[in-house]
Amino acid sequence: MRHLRFFMMAFGIATLPAIPALAQSFPGMGGGSNALSGAASSLMGNGGGGGMMSQMLPSLSSSSTSNVAGVLSYCIQNNIVQGSSASSVLSALSGRNGVTSSSGYTAGTQGNIESGNGSSFSLSGVTQQIKNKACNMVLQRAQSLL
């Protein structure tokens, strides 16, 4: 339900082209195991790289260092970002005092981006394309925190 509210706030019901598909993804409202991801894909079009996808993802500017480190850990563990650069950035952030013991870190390791204003965005039910974009944004934010 959190995703539906996010889409409704981000795009407004009038601009969401896949309302019937969204209804199918909720219990008691029909089939479709991941209609929400399909709606996200239709909003982004086939090109992918930016545009509406960037608007859909949360801002990381207010995310805590702990949450950024936790999400980066999620991204690495799920092979969404790879390489020694990502691992070394995670190591540097995780080595800071109190980072891995915070609730923000724990939420991040579960794929929840906390944007700092009390809202969060879960990577668990979105398309791979959105996960890739979000994890790359998280890696960039993490590098900027060093």
In a shared domain, residues 33 and 72 = no
| Mean pLDDT, rounded, for 124-145 | 95
Domain hosting 41: range is 2-56
The overall pTM is greater than 0.85:
no
Q: In this structure, are 52 and 84 located in the same domain?
A: no
Q: Which helix (H) or strand (E) holds 47?
A: none
Considering its fold, how many domains does the chain have in total? 2
pLDDT at 32: 38
Q: Are residues 77 and 138 in the same domain?
A: yes
pLDDT at residue 57, rounded to an integer: 79
**E strands of 58-138, at which residues?**
112-114, 120-122
Residue 140 to residue 144: CA distance in whole angstroms: 6
Are both 138 and 76 inside the same structural domain?
yes
Q: Which residues pair with 121 in a beta bridge?
A: 113
3-state secondary structure of 114: strand
In this structure, the answer to whether residues 73 and 134 fall within a common structural domain is yes
By CB neighbour count within 10 A (0-12 exposed, 13-18 middle, 19+ buried), where does 92 fall?
A: middle
CB atoms < 10 A from the CB of 60, how many?
22
> What digits encode the pLDDT tens for the residues 33-90?
333 333 343 333 334 444 455 457 788 888 999 999 999 999 999 999 988 999 999 9
